[in-house]
Structure 1
Amino acid sequence: MPNIPLTSEQVCAVCLEHGFARAGIAPAQRSPRAEVLEDWIADGRHGTMGWMAEHVEVRSDARRLLEGARSIICVLDRYADGRPDDREAGWGRVARYARGRDYHVVMKKRLHAVCDQLSAASPDHEFRACVDTAPLLEREVAARAGLGGIGKHTLLIEPGLGSWLLIGSIVTTLELEETGVAEDHDLCGACTRCIDACPTDAITPWSVDARKCISALTIEHRQPIDDAFHEAMGDWIYGCDACQEACPHNRPTRRSVAAMRHDSHESPVVLEGGRREDGAAFRLIDVLSWDESVRRDAFTGSSMKRAKLPMMLRNALIAAGNALEAKDDPRLLEAVRSLATDGVPDMVRETARSVLARLGESG
């Protein structure tokens, strides 16, 4: 009913009704980790993600995102259960979060439905839904809302479910009772498995250097990737799950396997461009023959559309080089050679020639 004050319990119940796995409330305030973010950017550890250095004050304080903000409603969606991938030679892997439909779209649609329901009950208040793209420290907010703790790999860990989580938020002028505590709680102890598992040594405790991170390099970096990282990238062509695969909190358990993802994240029905049916990988030889129309069709309904064609060709070339070092494949080698010629984008040609040089051939 309109104008009846909502409780945190009622708000969280509405979120769960819309299929979110968890929900909590944090106060809208300046982040206790604002200076950590500023130092991380000052050190250049955001790499080529220039947008991270923009709106730092807004990112650190949700009250700058919505005038009069008092609370942040935080929700979690599950997107994987930690079971190992089926890996195949000649295929390029995709990070688990990007295998289904675009989480920005599927989560925001449900968040908007939550906003509509809450707005009907509290018409004098404002609600702003955010999924990843708004300048908001979502993992830190989720931790303050009592939804888990930040691991040494910098990802949110929900004890018992792990870190295979997508985060959404609603910044609101409603004043709600917080559901968590502001103090940090360490879920890692002496464990360093994520740090040890990172192929490029990008992780130090509670910090990731985007200049080395395979996820950042394959998705955000729009320049040639340093040859020093090529071998370490293995078969990843979009993102990387190495640190999460190593995390003990992500070992499949009866509870974690049962708590499956919301069906709106199911793999896209479009299986163009050599995509495996489960969405987990693309056949490298197919990717290396892509043109823009194939890339567009392959990424229909997917968050992978963030990676432009030259980036995907670059990533697939590096993975192909690693595959060819492990096993001869004349057709795959010829596909690499075809991209080392004049007439292809500079970054693609440069990467192809670098791969061929590593294989003992001239471009």
Structure 2
Amino acid sequence: MLTESLDTLARQIPVWAQELGFQDVGITEADTGDHGDRLKEWLDAGRNGEMAYMADHGAKRYRPDELLPGTRRVISVRMDYLPSPDSPALTLKDAEKAYISRYTLGRDYHKLIRKRLAQLAKRIDNALEGYNHRAFVDSAPVLERALAQRAGLGWFGKNTMLIHPKAGSFFFLGEILTSAPLPVSEPFETEHCGSCSACLDICPTNAFDGPHRLDARRCISYLTIELKGSIPEELRAKMGNRVFGCDDCQLVCPWNKFSKPTDKEDFQPRHNLDNSDLAELFLWSEDEFLKRTEGSAIRRTGYEGWLRNLAVGLGNAPSTIPVVEALRQRADHPSELVREHVQWALRQHGITS
């Protein structure tokens, strides 16, 4: 088995990555800089809400060498996911439509990226004897955006998203932890957001109290995906028709004019989820929900959470016959959580019984 030089391999990895469908790759030391301190401050302020897992694993989350002993470098990759054609602004303006975050309109990205990362890791292993390589896609507690920034894949925008000057922010990330002391890439040290605050200003629920300062407890992505209980009533009207995730702070970002449509069929919308009526989705049975979200990240919210979110969307929709009738059909739902949100939605339409 041929053992290549580290310099040669570092030049070859981007070629292999592109062949496997990744748009960019960078290499960094197993160090997240001051991001560990930022994480601890965020957790101490309780801004993670019910995401207790963010506090798990201690220093392993920001010290890759503790997560996988012997790690010396992290290879970070990105893959674009924006579907095409797409009209997110039109969906947001049509209050009877359901808005679903663009990253989850197709199949769950984890399996696709994990498989291709594993193939990349195998190629590296075949070319370089005597070192360990392990791939991760949200499957380990790592600060992937921090590592990607240090690997040169972008800078942290004011909305906490990673932004690439030629690709915007609509992309997935993955990592390979390796014990090989590969040459490292130049990090993105400078933020290129300038005086722009569009992402902060557009947030429907005012989840930002300053640049890089996100309170997850007010973020619609958190409210519709991570939160398992009742959505705070004071935030419901602000959510509009966003029923799974939110892209507002990305859609308004000037850098996303450089976003490239995905060439992956798996990331294209399924079951018309980019253009479905709230009322239609709300009347799915649990079996329909499970069938039509098979292989989708939407499963994360569960059927009960799905109905909760849709009830809020219907409460914010116009008082049309389909909207009101859909809510009436779920008024006696066996779930107390669903009933509560349905009753709130009916009250929004002036119906109290």
User: Which TM class, normalised by the smaller chain length?
Assistant: over 0.9
SS in 1 for 2:351: coil
Match of 2:285 in 1: 291
Q: 1:307 and 2:290 equivalent?
A: no
Map 1:57-136 onto structure 2 (within 5 A). 57-80=59-82, 84-85=87-88, 86-87=90-91, 88-136=94-142
1: distance between equivalents of 2:267 and 2:13? 26
**Given the superposition, is the C-alpha separation of residues 79 and 4 from structure 1 closer, same or farther in structure 2, using an over 3 Å criterion?**
same
Map 1:191-270 onto structure 2 (within 5 A). 191-203=196-208, 204-251=210-257, 253=258, 256=259, 259-267=260-268
**Given the superposition, is the C-alpha separation of residues 299 and 246 from structure 1 closer, same or farther in structure 2, using an over 3 Å criterion?**
same
Please identify, of 169-178 and 298-307, the stretch whose mean Cα deviation from structure 2 is larger: 298-307
Which residue identity does 1:316 align to in structure 2? L
2: distance between equivalents of 1:121 and 1:250? 36
Q: 1:355 and 2:345 equivalent?
A: yes
What TM-score do you get using the length of structure 1 for normalisation? 0.90
Please identify, of 183-192 and 63-72, the stretch whose mean Cα deviation from structure 2 is larger: 183-192
Q: Which consecutive segments of 4 or more residues in structure 1 shift more than 6 A?
A: none
Measured against aligned partners, the alpha-carbon deviations of 1:276-303 in whole angstroms (never above 9, x if no partner) come to: 2xx3243222222222211111112212
Measured against aligned partners, the alpha-carbon deviations of 1:191-235 in whole angstroms (never above 9, x if no partner) come to: 111000000010231121110000111011111101111111111
2: distance between equivalents of 1:207 and 1:127? 34
User: Shift of residue 66 of structure 1?
Assistant: 1.0
Match of 1:164 in 2: 170
1: distance between equivalents of 2:265 and 2:22? 11
Aligned match of 1:282 in 276, 281, 289? 276
Contact 1:148 1:157 in 2 (8 A): yes
Contact 1:235 1:319 in 2 (8 A): yes
Contact 1:99 1:280 in 2 (8 A): yes
What TM-score do you get using the length of structure 2 for normalisation? 0.93
Where does the alignment leave 5 or more consecutive residues of structure 1 unmatched? none
1: distance between equivalents of 2:311 and 2:194? 39
2: distance between equivalents of 1:56 and 1:290? 41
Aligned match of 2:330 in 320, 333, 339? 339
Which residue identity does 2:330 align to in structure 1? L
SS in 2 for 1:323: coil
1: distance between equivalents of 2:352 and 2:41? 43
Task: Work out the number of aligned pairs and report it.
Answer: 346
2: distance between equivalents of 1:145 and 1:236? 33
Q: Percent identity?
A: 34
Which residue identity does 2:11 align to in structure 1? E
Contact 1:79 1:265 in 2 (8 A): no
Measured against aligned partners, the alpha-carbon deviations of 1:70-118 in whole angstroms (never above 9, x if no partner) come to: 1000001111279642324422111111112211111111001111111
Measured against aligned partners, the alpha-carbon deviations of 1:161-216 in whole angstroms (never above 9, x if no partner) come to: 211111111111111111123x6311111111100000001023112111000011
